[in-house]
């Protein structure tokens, strides 16, 4: 494996899913409330395509570099008429100044826990009970 391929593999976001009780707007509302309670700033919300994108500064800025965790939350329609929640956790760092840019990094352990907790709060158990 090349170094570039290894680096990309490190940053690959793995989606987490859960059945969604109720309709897509209820699920989206629950997800939005949960991300805001956890200190994320909603940067994109679309009730037509059932999507929320939110990020949170890690607060560990070093010099001109800031790191952020990012969540992308979607509600999907299933063939049987039910809905599913899907959350992808990602992270990036932003450099300001002469070397300005945005680079993918590993999500924080807290962001990974946030995903599980959001799905538990807004999703139904997998067996439907």
What one-character DSSP code corresponds to residue 108? P
Q: Assess whether pLDDT exceeds 50 at residue 22.
A: yes
CATH number at residue 9: 3.30.530.50
Report the pLDDT value the prediction gives residue 108, as an integer from 0 to 100: 94
Domain residues for the domain of 25 are 3-122
Q: Is 54 exposed, middle or buried (0-12, 13-18, 19+ CB in 10 A)?
A: buried
Total domain count for the chain? 1
In a domain, 63, yes or no: yes
40 backbone dihedrals φ, ψ, rounded to 5°: -80, 150
In a domain, 127, yes or no: no
30 backbone dihedrals φ, ψ, rounded to 5°: -65, -45
Structural contact between residues 51 and 72, judged by C-beta atoms closer than 8 angstroms? yes
Q: Tell me the per-residue pLDDT of 86-110, one tens digit each, with 9 for 90 and over.
A: 999 999 999 887 777 889 999 999 9
Q: Tell me the per-residue pLDDT of 50-72, one tens digit each, with 9 for 90 and over.
A: 999 999 999 877 777 899 999 99
Rg, Å, the chain Cα set: 16
């Amino acid at each position: 494996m090349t170094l570039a391929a290894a680096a990309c593999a490190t940053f690959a976001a793995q989606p987490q899913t859960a059945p969604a009780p109720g309709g897509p707007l209820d699920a989206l509302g629950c997800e939005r409330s949960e991300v805001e309670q956890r200190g994320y700033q909603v940067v994109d919300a679309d009730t037509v395509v059932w999507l929320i994108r939110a990020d949170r500064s890690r607060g560990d800025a070093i010099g001109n570099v800031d790191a952020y965790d990012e969540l992308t939350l979607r509600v999907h329609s299933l063939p049987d008429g039910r809905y599913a929640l899907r959350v992808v956790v990602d992270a990036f760092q932003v450099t300001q100044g002469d070397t300005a840019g945005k680079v993918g990094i590993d999500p924080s352990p807290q962001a990974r826990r946030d995903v599980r907790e959001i799905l538990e709060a807004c999703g139904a158990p997998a067996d439907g009970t």
